[in-house]
Amino acid sequence: MNPVEVYKFGGASVKDAAAIRNVGDILRNPSPRPLAVVISAMGKTTNALEEIIRAHYHQPELLPELVGKLKSYHEEVATSLLADQADALMTDLHDLWVELNWILEEDPHPTYNYHYDQIIVFGELASTKIVSAYLTNQGIAHQWLDARNFIKTDAEYREARILWDLTQAAVDHEVRKALDQHGMIITQGFIGSTVYNESTTLGREGSDYTAAILAYTLDAESVTIWKDVPGIMTGDPKRFEFAQRMDDISYQEAIEMTYYGAKVIHPKTIKPLQNKGIPLFVRPFDHPDQYGTKIGAGTITDLPPIIVVEPNQVLFRISTKDFSFVAEENLKEIFTRIADLRIKVNSMRNTAISFMVCITNDPAKVSQLVTALQDKYDIILHEHIELITVRHADEQTLSMLKAGKEILFEEIYGKTHQFIIKNA
């Protein structure tokens, strides 16, 4: 078999019938074969399913309307794509909605994260059914595969860890066979399953990671992530009009960017690719002839300032109740609580009698962390803040970002500057 390539299409690239037709155009010959194609849920479907999950726990009377909207959205896209040839696809979608309703007819599971993963997977399953049916209609040979059959994970629901040996064996058995027979597979990003075949997910926006897992286990030649941006930018172009595309960056730079919160790729994506020297391309799906950005081995020098903004942050100021130092035993206790809640620390600072930690403002996790610490510590929360990181910083960029802002604190390491800004 020739070297495999892996493509990943995100939600924006399959959000409606026109977008899916564009995916079909990209996948026609002379697209590479063999080709593994990973597809996310359509548009804002994951958000819609999260609303359904919340309603199942707290407002079950809303479920018929919410599920009805979800069904209508997918079925309208299916009909637009296939018209009077959509019967088989409608049957497949109907089977998915029946399975979803079976879950919703029961009481919600007492463990929220487990329940979340059993429901959220329907977004990816539905989108790939629709894309697969359209490709078949267009005569584009492929096989649809359920990623839960070969992405094997532990039972850490919503943040599942890959069981690499089991995944490798399953990919060798199922995915390679399908690629040999059909030249291309269509499968889901973001989702997997335990050894007991219970659905799991790899973390929000985890479809990029799925593509990397497949690339690693298939010894792929490259991965291409198709996005609604020209490539990897030096900042959010919606916020910074001077943001520019970078032709090439190193694995290390990409890891640093994702660590600091850049949303262009999932944080776990790079490591499996780096381990085998597999390059990653980020390319625009609306201009598929354009180069985009390549992430690969080597060191790229003279990069411009790269700005990563993490909005919707909360800053914890944790102090001992008796004004004693926050010492190593305190930090151990605090970080144990943070680790138990699977909270990612975005920035932190230690002072004599307090410890400050900046995290994403997830209300449930913030509340749980407060509850876990408040008996022993005094806690002050600063909300409505942004965390800004500038790599390869220069004075002009830093001055522009800080102008007129209240800076709560700043950290500097080499040419990487990180500061927390209080929003009005």
Residues 286-305 have a mean pLDDT of 91
Indicate if the alpha-carbon torsion angle 280, 247, 40, 23 is positive or negative.
negative
Residues 301-313 have a mean pLDDT of 93
Residues 181-210 have a mean pLDDT of 96
pLDDT tier for residue 134 given thresholds of 50, 70 and 90:
very high
Is the pLDDT at 1 greater than 80? The verdict is no
Question: CA-CA distance, 249 to 42, in Å (whole number)?
Answer: 29
Q: Is 295 left (phi over 0), alpha (psi -120 to 50) or beta?
A: beta
Q: Does domain 5-227 have CATH number 3.40.1160.10?
A: yes
Order of strands, sheet of 248-250, starting from the edge strand that comes earlier in the sequence: 143-144, 184-188, 35-39, 5-9, 222-227, 280-284, 293-296, 248-250
The domain spans of the chain are 5-227, 306-422
406, β-bridge pairs? 422
347, β-bridge pairs? 358
pLDDT tier for residue 326 given thresholds of 50, 70 and 90:
confident
Say if residues 162 and 170 touch (Cβ distance below 8 Å).
Answer: no
pLDDT tier for residue 353 given thresholds of 50, 70 and 90:
confident
Question: CA-CA distance, 206 to 195, in Å (whole number)?
Answer: 20
What pLDDT was estimated at residue 424?
A: 62
Lowest mean pLDDT, pick from 99-108, 345-354, 383-392? 345-354
Is the pLDDT at 236 greater than 70? The verdict is yes
Is the pLDDT at 334 greater than 90? The verdict is yes
What pLDDT was estimated at residue 261?
A: 87
Lowest mean pLDDT, pick from 114-123, 295-304, 334-343? 295-304
Q: Which residue has the tokens 């939600």?
A: 11
Is the pLDDT at 122 greater than 80? The verdict is yes
Question: CA-CA distance, 171 to 218, in Å (whole number)?
Answer: 8
R_g (Cα) of the chain, nearest Å: 23
CA dist 98 to 93, 103, 120, 229, 294, Å?
9, 9, 15, 36, 42
Q: What is the pLDDT of residues 52-105, one digit of tens each?
A: 999 999 999 999 999 999 999 999 999 999 999 999 999 999 999 999 999 999
DSSP3 helix / strand / coil % (the chain, rounded to 5): 45, 25, 35
pLDDT tier for residue 244 given thresholds of 50, 70 and 90:
very high
Say if residues 124 and 189 touch (Cβ distance below 8 Å).
Answer: yes
Say if residues 70 and 52 touch (Cβ distance below 8 Å).
Answer: yes
Q: Does domain 306-422 have CATH number 3.30.2130.10?
A: yes
Question: CA-CA distance, 70 to 52, in Å (whole number)?
Answer: 10
Say if residues 59 and 25 touch (Cβ distance below 8 Å).
Answer: no
What pLDDT was estimated at residue 205?
A: 81
User: What's the whole-number average pLDDT of the chain?
Assistant: 94
Eight-state DSSP code of residue 12: G
By percentage, how much of the chain surpasses pLDDT 70? 100
Lowest mean pLDDT, pick from 79-93, 186-200, 291-305, 386-400? 291-305
Q: Side-chain half-sphere of 33: how many Cα atoms within 13 Å? A: 16
What pLDDT was estimated at residue 259?
A: 87
